């Protein structure tokens, strides 16, 4: 996770993750927020609750794992698409330079 991702971490984001069942992400966000503000009892309590819920989950429940896989797959697809777009732009840019050079020779 990059530092820019952490810039947007809020207690509300963690609470919403927990409400939506993404407990691992909620725990991660609460831990980050507590490192920034260790005096916040509300965050400590919310973290404890999220950790308890996470610990109580069936270890064979794959919902979070599938969600994580889907997110990574989408990110990978976006990265691949950006790579294809970049290659097309470079190709077009190179073709445009070649055309311009050919026109100048005439």
Domain region containing 47: 1-57
Express each pLDDT in 22-32 by its tens digit: 999 999 999 99
> How many structural domains does the chain have?
2
Express each pLDDT in 82-96 by its tens digit: 888 888 888 887 766
Same domain as 65, residue 38:
no
Same domain as 64, residue 53:
no
Q: Compute the distance between CA of residue 93 and CA of residue 79 in angstroms, rounded to an integer.
A: 21
Same domain as 64, residue 87:
yes
Model confidence, pTM? 0.54
Q: Quick one: tokens of 41?
A: 């009892």
Same domain as 106, residue 65:
yes
DSSP letter (8 states) at residue 60: T
Has residue 2 got a pLDDT over 60? no
Same domain as 78, residue 42:
no
Same domain as 76, residue 37:
no
């Amino acid at each position: 996770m990059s530092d820019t991702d952490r810039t947007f971490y809020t207690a509300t984001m963690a609470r919403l993750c927990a409400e939506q069942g993404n407990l691992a992400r909620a725990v991660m966000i609460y831990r980050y927020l507590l490192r920034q503000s260790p005096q916040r009892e509300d965050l400590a309590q919310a973290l404890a609750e999220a950790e308890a819920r996470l610990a109580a989950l069936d270890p064979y429940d794959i919902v979070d794992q599938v969600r994580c896989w889907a997110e990574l797959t989408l990110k990978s697809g976006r990265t691949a698409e950006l790579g294809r777009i970049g290659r097309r732009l470079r190709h077009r840019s190179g073709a445009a330079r070649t055309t311009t050079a050919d026109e100048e020779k005439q």
